[in-house]
Amino acid sequence: MPPSVDLLSVFGHVLLLSLLAIGGAITVAPDMHRLLVGEMGLLSDVQFNASIAIAQASPGPNVLFVAVMVYQAAGLPGAAATLAGASP
């Protein structure tokens, strides 16, 4: 896990977004892009788009794209923190 990843910050942001998401998890994708690509610089645009494509192609809930994105940036601890925040 890169030392620059603040898991508590990512967890809090995802938790807040999950409480505000109306219309499904994909509606928070623009704000996740702003956080992970723009502000934190954890992912590139290509990685962000690939995460959404992988999660949409996989069976299961659409919210998995959030875990796939943070997994790329912070590994299993990041994915676990994100899933905990995405399902309050």
**pLDDT tens-digit map of 53-87:** 888 888 877 777 888 888 888 888 888 888 888 76
What rounded mean pLDDT belongs to the chain? 82
Query: What is the model's pLDDT at position 88?
Result: 56
Angle, vertex CA 13, rays to CA 7 and CA 17, nearest 5: 140
Tokens of 29: 């994708």
pLDDT band at 40 (very low <50, low <70, confident <90, very high): confident
Residue 21, φ and ψ in degrees, nearest 5: -75, 115
Query: What is the model's pLDDT at position 3?
Result: 47
Separation of alpha carbons 26 and 66, rounded Å: 9
